Amino acid sequence: MEKSTIKLTRKIQLLVDLPTKEERKEALDKLYGWQNRCFRAANLIVTHLYVQEMIKEFFYLSEGIKYKLADEKKDKYGILQRSRINTTYRVVSNRFKGEIPTNILSNLNKNLITSFNKDRPEYWKGERSLMNFRRDMAFPFDIELIIGLHFNEDKKAFCFSLNKIPFRTYLGKDYTDKRKLLERVIKGNIKLCTSHMKLKDGKIFFLPVFEIEKEKHILKPEVIAEASLSLEYPIVVKTGNTKLTIGTKEEFLYRRLAIQAAHKRAQVGATYSKSGKGVQRKLKAVQKFRNAESNYVHYRIHVYSRRLINFCIKHQAGTLILLNQEDKIGIAKEEEFVLRNWSYYELMTKIKYKAEKAGIELIID
C-alpha cells in the first residue's frame, strides 16, 4: 500500500545559546569531538559489516564448515556471540564509550546497516566500492535527544537543547517553509524523525527530517502527462492537446556560461590584485562568483520542476512519464560540454521529489 506521508529534509543554521564566548567555544569543541568519533565509528562499522558479509571467502582452506551470521545461542551454526545488528554497535560503543552519546552511535549503526544491506548485491559482485566517510560528515540522532523545542519570543528564534547543549535557530530572511514546519512540530501536527547535525567552517547546521502528509489534489491516474528533458529546452511537457515549454537554452545555458566566464576572469585578475591582508583580499572577487553558478542553477531547476508539477496538477494528470531518458544519458556522457552544463541529475531529483509530494506517479522511460 502506498504511503500517505513523505519525509522532507531542511537545512537550518544553529547558534549555541550560551552567554560567554568561553562556554560557546567549549560546546563547539564538544560537537566537533562528536563529529570526529562519528566519522571514525562509521568507517569501523562498514568495515566490520563487509568482513561479516565476505567471511565465507575466508573459509576456502577448509571444507565442510557450516556457519551462519547469527547468535550462537539461537542457532547451532551461529558464529556470533550476539545478534548481527548488535555486533557492530558493541564494537563502536566499547571503543568510544563516554566520548559520544550512545543515541548517536545507535542511529548511525542502524542507518549504515540499512544502506549496506541495500547495496550488498553490488558489493558481492565487485561493482561498488565500500563506503568511505569524510571527517566533516553529519552525525544522526533521534527525537529523544531534542528537549524543549519551543519558540522564544524574546530571542525571536526556535530554541531547544541537545544532550544539555542549548541551541537557537538562525533563520535570517526565511522565504522557505522552515519556520512553518518547526511551528507545526511544536503544535504536534507533524512528526520530527531521525535528523542530522553537521559542522563546517565553525558553523553548525541542523538537518531536521519532517514527516508530513502528501498534498491532496484531484488527480486522474488515466490522464498521462509526457515530459522530455533536453539542453535546448529544459522541459517540454504535453497532455492531450495541451503543450508547455518550460525554460529556454538562452535563459538557462547562456546565463550559466556567463557566470563561468566571469569566474575565470576573476581568477586571472586575482594575480594582479593588491594583497595587503593576504589571500583573503586577493581572492575577494573570486569568492563572489564561487557559489554564484550553483545557486543560480539550483534556483532555476527548482522553478522548472515546480512549473512541471503545477502543469500536471492543473490538468489532473496522475501519471507523469519522462520520455527517452536512457538515450539522453548516453549522449550526455559522450559530450563533455553537455554533461558539465545540463544538470540532468539534479533536475531529475527535484522532479521525483515534487511528484511524490503531490501524489503523482513518475515513470522514467
As a whole number of angstroms, the distance between CA 326 and CA 160 comes to 47
Give me the mean pLDDT over the 132-145 stretch.
90
Q: What are phi and psi of 71, to 5 degrees?
A: -65, 130
Asked if pLDDT for residue 159 goes beyond 90, the answer is: yes
Per-residue pLDDT reduced to its tens digit, 205-222: 999 999 988 888 888 888
pLDDT of residue 1: 47
- Band of pLDDT at residue 74, cut at 50, 70 and 90: low
Give residues with Cβ within 8 angstroms of 186, minimum separation 6: 149, 150, 151, 158
pLDDT of residue 364: 81
Give me the mean pLDDT over the 84-110 stretch.
87
What would the DSSP string read from start to end of 211-262? EEEPP----EEEEEEEEEE-SSSSEEEEETTEEEEE--HIIIIIHHHHHHHH
As a whole number of angstroms, the distance between CA 265 and CA 259 comes to 10
Helix and strand element counts for the chain (H, E): 12, 15
Give residues with Cβ within 8 angstroms of 18, minimum separation 6: 24, 27, 166
| DSSP helix/strand/coil, 126 | coil
Three-point CA angle 66, 44, 98, nearest 5°? 120
CATH topology of domain 220-364: Nucleotidyltransferase; domain 5 (3.30.420)
Q: Specify the length of the chain in residues.
A: 365
Asked if pLDDT for residue 79 goes beyond 60, the answer is: no
pLDDT exceeding 90 applies to what percent of the chain? 31
Asked if pLDDT for residue 27 goes beyond 70, the answer is: yes
Closest CA relative to residue 231, chosen from 210, 256, 248: 248
Is there a contact between 13 and 199 (Cβ–Cβ < 8 Å)? no
Question: What's the chain's average pLDDT?
Answer: 83
pLDDT of residue 206: 94
**Model pTM score:** 0.78
Per-residue pLDDT reduced to its tens digit, 326-363: 665 565 555 555 545 667 778 888 888 898 888 888 88
Asked if pLDDT for residue 102 goes beyond 80, the answer is: yes
As a whole number of angstroms, the distance between CA 148 and CA 145 comes to 10
Spans of all domains in the chain: 5-25+138-213, 30-125, 220-364
Asked if pLDDT for residue 146 goes beyond 70, the answer is: yes
Q: Which three cell numbers stand for residue 343?
A: 544538470
As a whole number of angstroms, the distance between CA 37 and CA 100 comes to 7
